[in-house]
Structure 1
């Protein structure tokens, strides 16, 4: 970039008290260097947030993305007018373009808050202090201006269309009625059961063909919609406006546009009588995912401004960081996963006090506060971490994918299980090195773990990404583990003596008992769980055998093609004989037909030679027809979903004869433990060969009632299911209590 030759702007002082800076836009200056563009000029003014006399003037806040690459330095200069004259401040390009657009559009005459300029980014204490003020700043501003970036032809079309739709009274009225009534109206319009004189029907008929779907996708694809910080910025402000190039529309216009698209998309689908291009189909299919960030903002704005309801910081961190298979909102720094949500949360004492730039400290401090109230935060700590320096028990919220715990149906629901009973009176302790000391109950040591696991498809062929062929080995292994369990002396359960208990265990181990909790077998409306399991086992067997048959055919074909006779060199030596190639071709065709006939007839021999086992007389019929009625049943849908929620988990057997499901990296010698107040058991790995380390004699735990209990030094592996221990059965007096020291 070019430079004006001015001195570099220096912030006069550090603002670590309740003072802020605001930008006043001044007429731009023209650069004397090519390309002679206009350069933003600003004045920075300081204000007290709690003035004794003059109140802070009305101001607006700018919400935007920095759009920077890792290690990139600001290089776009603006002019800052000070009492000592003009000075130069370098900023990033996207903010530079936003300031230009704000002046050109004359969208505001009020002072503006833009964090990149109003906060000295090189002053760490000032930056840390202002992070805690972000929620208040965006709540107190008159309006938030969202900068989406430079305009395109498509975005201009959408902005013009949005203003038109936003001015239609019938569309705005649609936003004020209850959701159920809104859906009824939408169905009436799509099915044309409403009167043709209906105003909304006429609006849809007029504007549906004109909806700029490409422009809608263009705007929704802007980087602003994918950033975590923007949620609080857009949700807290009383009003909002989106700016793209020099065009703008309000949040209400966007909300009207969103609902009109919902109606018009359904009308468009009902009118299709001809084939459409794959490009348009992919474009329309992508819209639903692209809309989700603004749907979240709608929800947060309604909760804050209409219902006056705020969630705890822990609930917000889970909501915006636990993503299952969806793409997570973007955040530059790991600690942004927490700090970017502070403004939305109620004040409950869980906000980290650790400074920005120390993600380990932020995550550990946050987890320390939460685990005192909810031991289930451990369920989010499973698996390898992106931040390697984190203690094993601390969740890494910056991971690209974090799944909902298996003991929950949704993030907001109550846990299905209560393996740990009531919460212990002995609160967890965390030392300065991040070592967690928490009371627990030792269930048993892992003697053996399974070979098979439920998998998802590597290259999805179905919308659910389910690999049904993986069920065969997994289901068979359950029966084998239950058989081994009964041979252990003093086992909790003797499955060989109780067939009903064995069947219950076998069914619950397929999906961690989730379907049995959702659909009790006493309800005659749904088929028995055993019927669902047997149908999927048969279906899986069929897929496996088809794959094995295909493999033998591929092998046979390759072998034949490698060794089949071909015309020799004499054909090339005597071109006149090339006419005989027609005869040879006829022979080839005849031989190919014969070979295929022999292939079908010799299938049993080939399968035997390939090592494919024969079907046992009592096995499920691999050639049977799929029961489509059963597969369309609601219970079957839920059962499949519950099964594949356990993908990557393996069976394990403890020295007490308990069988369960654990993380994919479970190992022999790991210990199954239950934490009081927790919903599910957990797997920990002892730090050395001796599990019990003797009494916990750490005098730093004065006041604890269990200093005489055995201690277990370990690392955290993951949550688990343990059949027969999910409802507090093992929390009775006399169990082997211990102190877990998890590093």
Structure 2
């Protein structure tokens, strides 16, 4: 059979659809006969759209044949195996009445020109479809069980209505389910009672089944975002089971209230595996909720945002799981349907197998919109050959240090405006206006590190934090001695505040100032910082204590051991036992008992820190759970080392630890004139601290001497005490000029 040749599309707004003519599973391979028809926007024929995970590598070739009916006879077209399976499931479920948009068939995958014309239409194609069928993959016993559970709890229950309630109005219902004894108004009480009845009828939430369904690869693919969010009606297909998307959303809501009820009614020990499953469901829910939020924003009048904001939202890794995309270019093109078609959108040129060119062109467009685009040029990069100023959207990217959340900068180092950045057509450099503040003369050796025992919540390691705080304080005190320093003449309390701001990029100070007076913030920050420092020192002492009492270490370092644990040498032991055997044994046992008490107290304090740290992370996830995990002996250990359990549990401590964790990898620096701040790990002595007009935070740049004066390589974002609120812009001795970034 001859291969199918796509007729070129010559009319703007025209796209292709598939009609399923015959699906026969009795043959091997299955027989799939289709026709490919054309229709046009804005008034296409009625059609469905398929959303699925391609599930193939970039270099794989399609090898499953289908037959395409044409006026001159059938022609052969090859597709990938996952799509073949999806078509078989569609036919079995009865989705053959309407034409279907299937991107793998409707777009000529071998033609760059066809892709360039069709990909920008994808958003409108999915928006105009009557319904999207989401194919999650093959069924399993667990997925069948969960789909049946979802349909069951949605049948004749209030979930369908409650899931439409806005978040603020839902919170009283959640609280009432979590604590049925609390007073509430009649409407809330009615919903509470209905939910409690549903929980009583389903006391065991199918955690493993929920994980099976919600961990399917479809939920983690970038293309499916616009495919799912733009259409109003969508159904989920998994093997032979179907549920509506609203039913799935209701089941996720039911898990939240079910979990609140479960936490209140725990009796006895809970297996670690159960807690891990519940944590996993929360993680999976978070990713899916983002899809529902996007759907709501699009369909309730908030409208589409610009392409820059959409690309940031879906390429910045906030939950620890970066959304998947096989082709790096799709991290831009796969999101165009979610963005409004403004002047920037219309300048994006769709093409593939040119990630460097696509990313560079897009960065040039977006830099004109926001100079903070530079903050997303983070290292290391996955794609080789990118200019230093161009973000690699395929790499793991984080929210910038100087932002509380995406879209929420907390500083204004570059003031409120400046000339629009531009790309020099000859050199390819990004040209910005800015100020070189100073050059780095010294960089610290200490870095904050993740606690290896707290990977789930990405908590900071206290011991590395203690060393980092010590080094930061030393840098601040040294810089203050320079007459040219911005902190010269500061008294001890002011220097302590500077050191705290350096440790967490100044973020906790900004958070606390929202609810507290400046003096109260300063006092609280010092207490929190001191507790973290003491905790690190306590853990160092614990490690030393345990190490001393290790018998192997003891034999090598008896001089370090306390008197009550150092055993006598053999001669003294024999002589003592011979003279006063009872007293000798008593002395040795008393020493052993005291040693054991010392180790237990130290370990008790260490364990208490572990428990409190977990409690803080646990409380963030399991809202409303009153966890009293520190025992009296552990509390005594904390007190012995001068630690305050209440402060360790406080929201100020939680915020400070969270901000420290965001600062992992950065190092403290000092410049020639005595500016102090934080720089990325790849910074070196001699690098410049610069402020770009209109930017929110300073940047670290590296001179490219061989490339000509004024050319720089971008290194990363920075904190610089004394210039974070635009001070450098007002200093006449610092001339604003062009900075060329290669």
So what's the TM-score if we normalise by structure 2?
Answer: 0.83
Alpha-carbon distance change, 304 to 382 in structure 1, aligned in 2, over 3 angstroms: same
Mapping of 1:266-305 within 5 angstroms?
A: 266-305=260-299
Paired residue for 2:17? Answer: 22
Paired residue for 1:683? Answer: 700
The answer to whether the 8 Å contact 1:440/1:673 transfers is yes
CA distance in 2, matches of 1:724, 1:314: 30
2:504 to 511, 515, 535: 511
The answer to whether the 8 Å contact 1:538/1:622 transfers is no
Q: 1:676, CA displacement in angstroms?
A: 0.6
Paired residue for 2:535? Answer: 539
Paired residue for 2:8? Answer: 13
Mapping of 1:180-219 within 5 angstroms?
A: 180-193=168-181, 200-201=194-195, 203-205=197-199, 207-209=201-203, 211-219=205-213
CA distance in 2, matches of 1:250, 1:277: 33
Deviation per CA, 1:490-527: give whole Å up to 9, x if none. 444424x6445433323322222222222247367664
CA distance in 2, matches of 1:198, 1:406: 41
Q: 1:178, CA displacement in angstroms?
A: 3.2
1:133 is paired with a residue whose SS is helix
1:674 is paired with a residue whose SS is strand
Alpha-carbon distance change, 185 to 290 in structure 1, aligned in 2, over 3 angstroms: same
Q: 1:363, CA displacement in angstroms?
A: 1.3
Looking at secondary structure, tell me which structure has more helix per residue. 2
Deviation per CA, 1:17-68: give whole Å up to 9, x if none. 4221111111224665xxx463221111122325xxxx52101100001111
Q: 1:465, CA displacement in angstroms?
A: 2.4
2:373 is paired with a residue whose SS is helix
Comparing 293-302 and 14-23, the one that deviates more: 14-23
Q: Does 1:84 align with 2:101?
A: no
Q: Does 1:652 align with 2:666?
A: no
Alpha-carbon distance change, 210 to 597 in structure 1, aligned in 2, over 3 angstroms: closer
1:445 to 414, 434, 439: 439
Alpha-carbon distance change, 340 to 559 in structure 1, aligned in 2, over 3 angstroms: farther
Paired residue for 1:471? Answer: 465
1:664 to 681, 686, 696: 681
The count of aligned residue pairs is 665
Alpha-carbon distance change, 152 to 492 in structure 1, aligned in 2, over 3 angstroms: closer
The answer to whether the 8 Å contact 1:382/1:716 transfers is no
CA distance in 1, matches of 2:500, 2:556: 46
Paired residue for 2:628? Answer: none
Paired residue for 1:396? Answer: 392
CA distance in 2, matches of 1:457, 1:181: 38
2:158 is paired with a residue whose SS is helix
Deviation per CA, 1:217-263: give whole Å up to 9, x if none. 22112111110111110000121111111221212222222222222
Q: 1:185, CA displacement in angstroms?
A: 2.1
2:417 is paired with a residue whose SS is coil
Q: 1:198, CA displacement in angstroms?
A: 7.1
Q: Does 1:69 align with 2:69?
A: no
CA distance in 1, matches of 2:464, 2:275: 32
Alpha-carbon distance change, 499 to 286 in structure 1, aligned in 2, over 3 angstroms: closer
Paired residue for 2:629? Answer: none
Paired residue for 2:403? Answer: 408
CA distance in 1, matches of 2:712, 2:382: 20
Paired residue for 1:95? Answer: 83
Paired residue for 1:40? Answer: 32
Q: 1:731, CA displacement in angstroms?
A: 0.8
Q: Does 1:624 align with 2:641?
A: yes
CA distance in 2, matches of 1:191, 1:490: 60
Mapping of 1:66-145 within 5 angstroms?
A: 66-145=54-133
Mapping of 1:297-696 within 5 angstroms?
A: 297-324=291-318, 326-351=320-345, 352-399=348-395, 401-413=396-408, 415-425=409-419, 427-431=421-425, 434-460=428-454, 463-488=457-482, 490-495=484-489, 498-520=491-513, 522=517, 527-554=523-550, 556-557=552-553, 597=592, 624-688=641-705
CA distance in 2, matches of 1:550, 1:641: 29
Paired residue for 1:725? Answer: 723
CA distance in 2, matches of 1:720, 1:455: 18
Paired residue for 2:562? Answer: none
Q: Does 1:736 align with 2:724?
A: no
Alpha-carbon distance change, 197 to 133 in structure 1, aligned in 2, over 3 angstroms: closer
Q: 1:345, CA displacement in angstroms?
A: 0.8
The answer to whether the 8 Å contact 1:58/1:141 transfers is yes
CA distance in 2, matches of 1:148, 1:683: 45
Structure possessing the higher radius of gyration over alpha carbons: 1
1:170 to 140, 151, 158: 158
Alpha-carbon distance change, 523 to 494 in structure 1, aligned in 2, over 3 angstroms: closer
2:705 is paired with a residue whose SS is coil
CA distance in 2, matches of 1:250, 1:663: 47
Alpha-carbon distance change, 243 to 416 in structure 1, aligned in 2, over 3 angstroms: same
Alpha-carbon distance change, 302 to 135 in structure 1, aligned in 2, over 3 angstroms: same
Paired residue for 1:571? Answer: none
CA distance in 1, matches of 2:500, 2:332: 40
CA distance in 2, matches of 1:169, 1:15: 52
Q: 1:137, CA displacement in angstroms?
A: 0.1
Alpha-carbon distance change, 622 to 555 in structure 1, aligned in 2, over 3 angstroms: farther
1:162 is paired with a residue whose SS is helix
Q: 1:332, CA displacement in angstroms?
A: 0.7
1:209 is paired with a residue whose SS is coil
Paired residue for 1:706? Answer: none
Q: 1:274, CA displacement in angstroms?
A: 4.3
Alpha-carbon distance change, 627 to 139 in structure 1, aligned in 2, over 3 angstroms: same
Q: 1:135, CA displacement in angstroms?
A: 0.2
Q: 1:16, CA displacement in angstroms?
A: 7.3
Q: 1:89, CA displacement in angstroms?
A: 1.4
The answer to whether the 8 Å contact 1:354/1:361 transfers is no
Comparing 429-438 and 677-686, the one that deviates more: 429-438
Alpha-carbon distance change, 212 to 512 in structure 1, aligned in 2, over 3 angstroms: closer
The answer to whether the 8 Å contact 1:419/1:728 transfers is yes
The answer to whether the 8 Å contact 1:363/1:395 transfers is yes
Deviation per CA, 1:340-373: give whole Å up to 9, x if none. 1111112232332252221112211121122122
CA distance in 1, matches of 2:402, 2:653: 19
1:40 is paired with a residue whose SS is strand
Q: RMSD of the alignment, in Å?
A: 3.1
CA distance in 2, matches of 1:543, 1:715: 41
So what's the TM-score if we normalise by structure 1?
Answer: 0.83
The answer to whether the 8 Å contact 2:119/2:350 transfers is no
Q: Does 1:242 align with 2:236?
A: yes
The answer to whether the 8 Å contact 2:460/2:660 transfers is no
2:217 to 196, 220, 223: 223
Comparing 141-150 and 512-521, the one that deviates more: 512-521
Comparing 270-279 and 511-520, the one that deviates more: 270-279
Q: 1:116, CA displacement in angstroms?
A: 0.4
Alpha-carbon distance change, 46 to 593 in structure 1, aligned in 2, over 3 angstroms: farther
The answer to whether the 8 Å contact 1:166/1:252 transfers is no
1:533 is paired with a residue whose SS is helix
Comparing 279-288 and 119-128, the one that deviates more: 279-288
Alpha-carbon distance change, 173 to 372 in structure 1, aligned in 2, over 3 angstroms: same
1:28 is paired with a residue whose SS is strand
CA distance in 1, matches of 2:259, 2:173: 14
Unaligned residue ranges in structure 1 (runs of 5+): 1-5, 562-588, 604-620, 694-710
Alpha-carbon distance change, 109 to 593 in structure 1, aligned in 2, over 3 angstroms: farther
